[in-house]
């Protein structure tokens, strides 16, 4: 297996280290983040059983057969996984450093010696960005008037970042999460054990 480096001068097609590091990022680096997201998703579903009903209806009407087995296709409502990561991002904050002095849209000046913290947990709950119902779990927010999936700008929904440096494993992570959700909802009922205190951990 070789890297496709035909369009990128800085990549060596036989650079095993680049390929190895990329695969490690796909397989290992996103494992815990994906598991965390799915866990929070099922907690939110346990608090909103009507959403479970809608997702199951969507699953039953959009299954296709691949190699004799049923697989999900053309999902829309299950995209509320995005809503989950807005409220409970697996990575609550990120740190960035400018490569050169710059001026942010807010007018603040930054230079290469600064470390800028971006709190995704806070950004996903800002009323100025998401409206007065920012703290509510409303999967319908991601469904358009025609019933399709309403995409938000990547720089607004920041769980995977945006632009050319967005998360390399975004599609893989979403595929893994959707597959896990579909398989569990097809085969199991679930409920939250009473008396549990559910809240994000700090540290």
pLDDT number for residue 65: 47
Does residue 88 sit within a domain?
A: yes
* pTM score: 0.76
Smallest CA-to-CA distance from 167 within 73, 72, 114, 89 is with 89
Does residue 103 sit within a domain?
A: yes
Which residues make up each annotated binding site? 167
CATH of the domain at 92: 1.10.630.10
CB count, 10 Å around CB of 134? Answer: 16
Per-residue pLDDT band at 107 (split at 50, 70, 90): very high
Smallest CA-to-CA distance from 158 within 150, 167, 171 is with 167
Does residue 7 sit within a domain?
A: no
Does residue 199 sit within a domain?
A: no
Instruction: Look at the chain and report how many structural domains it folds into.
Output: 1
Does residue 192 sit within a domain?
A: no
pLDDT number for residue 157: 76
Does residue 41 sit within a domain?
A: yes
Does residue 171 sit within a domain?
A: yes
Question: 142-173, pLDDT tens digit by residue?
Answer: 777 776 677 777 777 778 887 777 887 788 88
What range defines the domain where residue 149 resides?
A: 18-187
Question: 178-191, pLDDT tens digit by residue?
Answer: 888 888 988 899 88
Which residues make up each annotated binding site for heme? 167
């Amino acid at each position: 297996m070789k890297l496709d480096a035909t369009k990128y001068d800085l990549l060596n097609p036989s650079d095993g280290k680049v390929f190895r590091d990329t695969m490690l990022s796909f397989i290992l680096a996103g494992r815990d983040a994906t598991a965390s997201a799915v866990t929070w998703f099922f907690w939110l579903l346990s608090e909103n059983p009507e959403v479970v009903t809608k997702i199951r209806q969507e699953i039953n009407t959009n299954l296709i057969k691949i190699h004799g087995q049923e697989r999900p296709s053309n999902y829309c409502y299950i995209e509320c996984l995005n809503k989950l990561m807005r409220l409970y991002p697996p990575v609550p904050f990120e740190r960035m450093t400018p490569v050169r002095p710059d001026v942010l849209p807010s007018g603040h000046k930054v230079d290469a010696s600064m470390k800028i913290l971006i709190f995704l947990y806070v950004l996903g709950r800002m009323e100025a960005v998401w409206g007065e119902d920012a703290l509510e779990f409303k999967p319908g927010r991601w469904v358009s008037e025609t019933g399709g999936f309403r995409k938000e700008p990547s720089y607004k929904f920041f769980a995977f970042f945006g632009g050319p440096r967005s998360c390399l494993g975004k599609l893989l992570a979403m595929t893994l999460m959707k597959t896990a959700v579909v398989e569990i909802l097809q085969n199991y009922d679930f409920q939250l054990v009473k008396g549990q205190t559910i809240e994000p951990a700090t540290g």
